[in-house]
Amino acid sequence: MSFSKSKEGQVLSNPLVQVNPIMVQTLGVCSALAVTAELKPSLVMSLSLTAVLTCSNVIISLIRNFIPNKIRIIVFMVVISTLVALADQVLKAYVFEVSKQLSVFVGLIITNCIVMGRAEAFATTNTPKMALLDGLGNGAGYSLVLCVCGAFREVLGAGTIWGAKLPGIDSMYAAGYVNNGLMVLAPGAFFLIGLFIWVSNTLYRSSK
């Protein structure tokens, strides 16, 4: 189920579904669960992670021939945590409310295994151009899961989308509909990701 034939296209599009960082590579699961109670923080988190991931991939790919193999992990860490500190400052300056809501999870992008994993597995052995595409692709795959998950949990758990009430929800309340409180709590996130993996496995395997 490839969307594109060229190598560049594949690097960009494969992580969307086929090798999705969250559902298939099991990378970056923590933040995917923690910030998705509503759509808005999910989107902000997705954008921050994609930005950090793309930049770190490009930077590490640029300096890949100068990094001594033994201390590469520490070099990655320094690059990534500098970028994360930048992202954190930007978020605090422009979207303070959301950055409060995300609390420590922006900082935890440092130990988000997607960034480390892609640096180790891809950026160290590829050109900056490919690393850029890989960063964007994996960021998009991560964002896809996060935003779908955030939208589901907000609609089912709070009856709102992007903070606004769903049209017609009041008449449903009047008819006896109750918000599913479990969706905004921790177990809802686990179940939802589990179901996503189930669906994507079923689709992917049947199309092979």
Residue 81 in contact with residue 27, Cβ under 8 Å?
no
Least distance between another protein and beta carbon 187 (Å): 4
Q: What is the residue type of 201?
A: N
Q: Which two tokens stand for residue 81?
A: 């945590």
Q: In this complex, which beta carbon is closest to another protein, that of residue 172 or of residue 186?
A: 186
Least distance between another protein and beta carbon 194 (Å): 3
Residue 164 φ/ψ, nearest 5 degrees: -105, 145
Least distance between another protein and beta carbon 163 (Å): 23
Q: In this complex, which beta carbon is closest to another protein, that of residue 125 or of residue 201?
A: 201
HSE of 36 in the Cβ direction (CA atoms, 13 Å)?
28
Q: How many angstroms separate the CA atoms of 122 and 15, rounded?
A: 13
Contacting positions for another protein (CB under 8 A): 23, 26-31, 33-34, 73-74, 77-78, 81-82, 84-85, 88-89, 103-104, 107-108, 110-113, 116, 182, 185-191, 193-195, 197-198, 201-202, 205
Q: In this complex, which beta carbon is closest to another protein, that of residue 49 or of residue 116?
A: 116
Least distance between another protein and beta carbon 138 (Å): 15
Q: In this complex, which beta carbon is closest to another protein, that of residue 77 or of residue 156?
A: 77
Element (H, E) at 43: helix 39-62
Q: What do you get for the CA distance between the two ends of the chain, in Å?
A: 7
What would the DSSP string read from start to end of 107-120?
Answer: GGGTT-HHHHHHHH
Q: In this complex, which beta carbon is closest to another protein, that of residue 12 or of residue 119?
A: 119
Residue 122 in contact with residue 57, Cβ under 8 Å?
yes
Least distance between another protein and beta carbon 188 (Å): 8
Q: In this complex, which beta carbon is closest to another protein, that of residue 8 or of residue 88?
A: 88
Q: How many angstroms separate the CA atoms of 94 and 86, rounded?
A: 12
Least distance between another protein and beta carbon 204 (Å): 9
Residue 151 in contact with residue 145, Cβ under 8 Å?
no
